[in-house]
Amino acid sequence: MIALGVLAAIAAFVAAFLVTWPLLGGKRRWLAPAAAVFAAGLAFAVYAIGARPDLPGLPYDRASAQRAEADPMALTRGERILRLQDMIRAGGADAQAFNLLGRELARAGRDLEAVSAFEQALHLSPDARIYSDFAQTLINLNEGRVTAEARSAFEEAARLDPSLPEPSFFLGLGAYQDGDRDEAARLWLLTLAGLAADDPFSAVIAGRAADLLSRPQADPALVAELADSPDMTPDQRIALMVEGLERRLSFAPDDLSGWLTLARVKAALGDDAAARAALGEARVRFGAEPGAQALLAAAEGALLDEEADEER
Amino acid sequence: MIAELGRFLIALALALSAAQMLFAWAGARDPGGAFARAGARAAHAALAALVVAFALLTVLFLQSDFSVAYVAANSHVDKPLFYMITGVWGGHEGSMLLWCLLLTAVGAGLAKFGPRGDPALRVRAVSVQGALQLMFLAFLALASNPFDRLDPAALEGSGLNPILQDPALAIHPPMLFLGYVGLSGVYSLAMAGLIEGRKGQPLGAAMRPWALGAWTALTAGIALGSWWAYYELGWGGWWFWDPVENASFMPWLMATALIHSAIASDRMGAFPGWTTLLALLAFTLSALGAFLVRSGVLTSVHAFALDPERGLWLLAILIVIAGAGLALFALRAHRLGAGQGFSPTSREAFIGANNLLLAAAAGVVFTGTLYPLFVDALGGRPVSVGAPYFDATATPILAFALVLMPFAPFMAWAKGGLRKAATPLRAAGLILPAAIAGLTALALGAPPLAALGAAIGAWAVAGAGLDIARWSGAVGLGPKLALAGRAMAHAGVGFIALGAASDASWPYERMAILAPGESMTAHGRVLTMQRIMRADGPNYMSDLAEIAVTRDGRAQGVLRPERRYYPAADQTTREVAIRTGLAGDLYVALGEPRQRDDGAFAFEVRAAFNPLIWMLGFGAALVTLGGLAALSARGVERRRPG
């Protein structure tokens, strides 16, 4: 700050002196120093409005060095992203740095940049985890849709590391979005079978799978029947749909999604006993399949939550 | 410390400009005296202070010092070096610093190169220029300081607006500003002439080089901006009658009138009052342009400040510039003299007619540009005035000016006389190409008005051709350069008219959604999307398409349009691919990606054919070169012994 003051003062007085020099030779030579002081004073007065001499400059290189020396955990997400970008810019980056950058960017909602970082990471090291993260970011970017590009990335991840749970879960989600509930259920059961019972992912995946598989599905034949009956009340329509589902399950009982849907609908109608019965039927038919216990437990948990909500 | 030093230097330049104004004012009574010399020194010192301040701001950009608010808002560490430097004037505060730097350069230029034969006029002009500097530097220092700080510093910069990251647009603002601010020199000379009670003839002579230099820079700046809009904005237009385009067009029209009027004043003492008024209005309209762009009063793709406080500052400056100029003109115009009389067939008459038409065009552009503002101020419903208004008003006036343009160079000063100018022969030389161009356009299906435009353009080009045919009659380098400059500028305007007419005559556009391997037909060519690939740059991600062009089975090359995403600004731009030929431009832009039902991605591809569009660029280049040649002619004449 002192250096700044000295420099500024020198600049001001040299300029003012040079400008007023011709006046020293005239009759009113007193004007020269007066004008010099006035000009320098005006300059300092204008400078002082909004000046921040107390703030040091912060060139990017210096800011970058400060971030590099800091504990990454003590940095904000934005600072961590910059730290990784600085490392990459400096040329010392490996696939891990790109992968970490991709994850941080994805968490910050900067999906397009995250995709680019994951692509760089995959270019350096084709790794199952990176493929999976990349594909999940593609899903985020496409508002939850499992696109063809995401699907092929998950398939590559599953090929490189079959024990990784995410690929089969998201491939199941892709099948579900395509309307293939049986394939979705198969893949999700496969995912859950590969996870230990106490794995925190198990409950998350089971809960999501149970929720999706139990969502009511439009039956085209039933929709046509309802369209022909415009006088029906909403309750009558719901009853007809539940009846249709029950009839379908009586003919084709090997439908996990169907039983879960029936349980959910019955619970929504307040018939808890029928809901439990539907879940029991599902347990009898699918309980022996690997991964099914976790899925049915999640469905039962959701049912209990709903009952608790009703009691409240 | 760099930022604070830069801030101080702006303040110092302001103080020095105050000294320049006061000392030079006192020195005008004794132009060789101490006060006059002190005023000139202050002008040079103010320029030096701002040169260093500008250099310091450039250093801050190169260092990516995000403790400076302006750097954080307009730069990014990943930006290429060239755009890191051009970012210095890419935003409001930096461009205002450039504006002030050029103002002080004009001040120092007036002190050094002002009218040699009239030192009192020169010193007075330096004083007036000092006053202009003082106003704009106060605005810069107190309301738009590029050295304002951020506490805490920003982590990273927002990056320069991606559409400004382009070579043409990097040079466009400095050229435009050189034109706008160059007109301040003319304004200062006009004010000094009114204060000093000069006659029109010496004043016209003093203003000519400044007006010509400013007009040349303004022409180049507008042409670069128009060229940029053509290839960068992605829809192939080159002039939109946007309020900010109009803000640059109005001073250009005034400056065009001024350079002609000043010739008549200098040579024959004609139009003394009119020339002075044009000088005052040209810079006033430049200041109006600054107000429109920076205040946010008008919506425009160019506007880059929406700050009422800054708007008030600029409005106040505009009122002072316009008010002082017009008031002084009203009080002192009679001292300029009445001017010499001239015959209706003299060169002055044609220059006068062209001047009136240019001023009328500027008037209708002014009305159309500011009408929405007036309506808004009066509480009316928001309105916008678009191309149909300007096409119906300004275009016919300018077309008529073009019709008159080729006559003036053949007319004698003062007395004139059609017979003396061998007009019938020359008229035949003009009418023939015009008729051919017009009839050809009609035969090719152009609308009648566009065919008329083509005829007028050809008429103007032919007129310039006849003018340059008198090359052997011009003795000496100076007159030859002057003749070449005039002919090039006039031919350039004709080519612009031809290009504009053909562009309006045959609009052609096709759009298709193409995946790799798919084709579309456009203007007799088959465009095949070969592949789409990633072509990321240092600060953007890009989808680049390779589109093969064939005509009658013969390959014509590969076009590579791009679609770029700039994360720092969260903005997408299009980089069009253009295949230029004598017949016109094949113009291909890559649009949004579309996902098909099968999940595959395809891209919107927009193909247009812009016939004879090269004539616009060629014409603008000729006009600019014409200005430079005319400037060089003056330089040669100044150096000629005796």
Tokens of A77: 């997400």
Look at residues A213, A244, A264 and tell me which one is the last residue of a structural domain: A213
The pLDDT mean for chain B works out to: 88
Choice between B80 and A1, residue whose per-residue pLDDT is larger: B80
Helix orientation angle between B243-268 and B272-295, rounded to the nearest 10 degrees? 160
Closest partner residue to A60 among B34, B77, B145, by Cβ?
A: B77
The enclosing H or E element of B559 equals: strand B554-559
In a shared domain, residues A149 and A168: yes
User: Cβ contacts (< 8 Å) between A19 and chain B: which residues?
Assistant: 16, 19, 23, 38, 41-42, 45
> CATH number of the domain that A157 lies in?
1.25.40.10
Reported as a pLDDT band with limits 50, 70 and 90, residue B386 is confident
How many whole angstroms separate alpha carbon A172 and alpha carbon A167?
8
> CATH number of the domain that A283 lies in?
1.25.40
Q: How many domains in chain A?
A: 2
pLDDT digits (tens, 9 = 90+) for A273-285: 888 888 888 888 8
For residue B496, give how far its alpha carbon lies from the nearest alpha carbon of chain A (Å): 43
User: Cβ contacts (< 8 Å) between B48 and chain A: which residues?
Assistant: 15
Q: Which residues pair with B607 in a beta bridge?
A: B510, B588
How many whole angstroms separate alpha carbon A132 and alpha carbon B387?
53
The pLDDT mean for chain A works out to: 85
Mean pLDDT, rounded, for A246-273 = 84
- Any chain B CB within 8 A of the CB of A65? no
Q: Which domain holds residue A250?
A: 223-311
In a shared domain, residues A162 and A252: no
Reported as a pLDDT band with limits 50, 70 and 90, residue B384 is confident
How many whole angstroms separate alpha carbon B258 and alpha carbon B279?
7
Q: From the CB of residue A76, how many other CB atoms can be counted at a distance below 10 Å?
A: 9
Closest partner residue to B5 among A8, A44, A59, by Cβ?
A: A8
Nearest Cα residue to B235 out of B503, B497, B541: B503
Closest partner residue to B155 among A12, A22, A78, by Cβ?
A: A78
Reported as a pLDDT band with limits 50, 70 and 90, residue B288 is very high
How many whole angstroms separate alpha carbon B92 and alpha carbon B313?
14
Q: Looking at residue B17, what is its pLDDT?
A: 96
pLDDT digits (tens, 9 = 90+) for B595-622: 777 767 789 999 999 888 899 999 999 9
B12·A15 Cβ contact <8 A: yes
pLDDT digits (tens, 9 = 90+) for B111-123: 999 888 899 999 9
In a shared domain, residues A241 and A194: no
Look at residues A180, A213, A246 and tell me which one is the last residue of a structural domain: A213
In a shared domain, residues A99 and A206: yes
Q: Over 80: is that where the pLDDT of B302 sits?
A: no
The pLDDT > 90 percentage for chain B reads: 52
Q: From the CB of residue B472, how many other CB atoms can be counted at a distance below 10 Å?
A: 7
Closest partner residue to A20 among B8, B38, B77, by Cβ?
A: B38
CB burial string B559-581: b at 16+ within 10 A, e below: bbbbbbbbbbbeeebbbbbbbee
Classify residue A150: in a domain, yes or no.
Answer: yes
Classify residue A296: in a domain, yes or no.
Answer: yes
Residue by residue, DSSP assigns B119-143 as HHHHHHHHHHHHHHHHHHHHHHHHH
Choice between B161 and B267, residue whose per-residue pLDDT is larger: B267
Nearest Cα residue to B260 out of B113, B129, B456, B407: B407
Classify residue A261: in a domain, yes or no.
Answer: yes
pLDDT digits (tens, 9 = 90+) for A188-201: 888 888 888 788 88
Tokens of B329: 């003109």
In a shared domain, residues A232 and A254: yes
B12·A55 Cβ contact <8 A: no
In a shared domain, residues A245 and A168: no
Q: What is the DSSP-derived secondary structure letter of residue B337?
A: -
Classify residue A67: in a domain, yes or no.
Answer: no
- Any chain B CB within 8 A of the CB of A113? yes
Q: Looking at residue B417, what is its pLDDT?
A: 65
Q: Over 50: is that where the pLDDT of B26 sits?
A: yes
User: Cβ contacts (< 8 Å) between A152 and chain B: which residues?
Assistant: none
**CB contact residues (below 8 A), chain B span 44-83, against chain A:** 45, 48-49, 60, 63-68, 77-78
Contacts of B121 (CB under 8 A, 6+ apart): B114, B115, B189, B192, B193, B196, B198, B202, B203, B206
Q: Over 70: is that where the pLDDT of B425 sits?
A: no
Q: Over 70: is that where the pLDDT of B300 sits?
A: no
Q: Looking at residue B406, what is its pLDDT?
A: 86
In a shared domain, residues A209 and A250: no
**CB contact residues (below 8 A), chain B span 519-548, against chain A:** 534, 536, 541
Q: Looking at residue B309, what is its pLDDT?
A: 79
How many whole angstroms separate alpha carbon B459 and alpha carbon B436?
10
Classify residue A11: in a domain, yes or no.
Answer: no
End-to-end CA distance of chain A: 67
How many whole angstroms separate alpha carbon B489 and alpha carbon B340?
27
B12·A43 Cβ contact <8 A: yes
Classify residue A73: in a domain, yes or no.
Answer: no
Q: Which residue of B has its CA nearest to A88?
A: B78
B19·A35 Cβ contact <8 A: yes
Mean pLDDT is highest, among A128-142, B413-427, B559-573, for: A128-142
Mean pLDDT is highest, among A87-91, B194-198, B579-583, for: B194-198
How many whole angstroms separate alpha carbon B57 and alpha carbon B72?
12
In a shared domain, residues A191 and A285: no
Q: Over 70: is that where the pLDDT of A11 sits?
A: yes
In a shared domain, residues A177 and A268: no
The answer to whether the CB of B6 falls within 8 A of the CB of B56 is yes
B64·A60 Cβ contact <8 A: yes
The answer to whether the CB of A32 falls within 8 A of the CB of A24 is yes
The alpha carbon of residue A200 and the mean position of all alpha carbons in its chain are separated, in whole angstroms, by 19
Reported as a pLDDT band with limits 50, 70 and 90, residue B207 is very high
Q: Looking at residue B375, what is its pLDDT?
A: 85
Classify residue A196: in a domain, yes or no.
Answer: yes
In a shared domain, residues A97 and A206: yes
Q: Which residue of A has its CA nearest to B140?
A: A46
Look at residues A213, A231, A246 and tell me which one is the last residue of a structural domain: A213
Reported as a pLDDT band with limits 50, 70 and 90, residue A309 is low
Mean pLDDT, rounded, for B401-424 = 76
Q: Looking at residue B642, what is its pLDDT?
A: 45
Q: Over 90: is that where the pLDDT of B274 sits?
A: yes
Closest partner residue to A15 among B45, B77, B78, by Cβ?
A: B45
Q: Which residues pair with B532 in a beta bridge?
A: B545
Angle ∠(A252,A257,A258) on CA atoms, nearest 5 = 45
Q: Which residues pair with B484 in a beta bridge?
A: none
Classify residue A295: in a domain, yes or no.
Answer: yes
Choice between B289 and A25, residue whose per-residue pLDDT is larger: B289
Q: Looking at residue B424, what is its pLDDT?
A: 53
In a shared domain, residues A107 and A165: yes
Cα dist from B10 to A10, B168, B170, B562, whole Å: 15, 28, 23, 41
Choice between B140 and A72, residue whose per-residue pLDDT is larger: B140
Q: Over 70: is that where the pLDDT of B423 sits?
A: no
Min mean pLDDT across A223-227, B100-104, B156-160, B328-332 is at A223-227
In a shared domain, residues A98 and A200: yes
Which of A18, A44, A60, A177 is most worth mutating to test chain B (most B CB atoms within 10 A of its CB)?
A: A60
Q: What is the DSSP-derived secondary structure letter of residue B519?
A: E
- Any chain A CB within 8 A of the CB of B33? yes
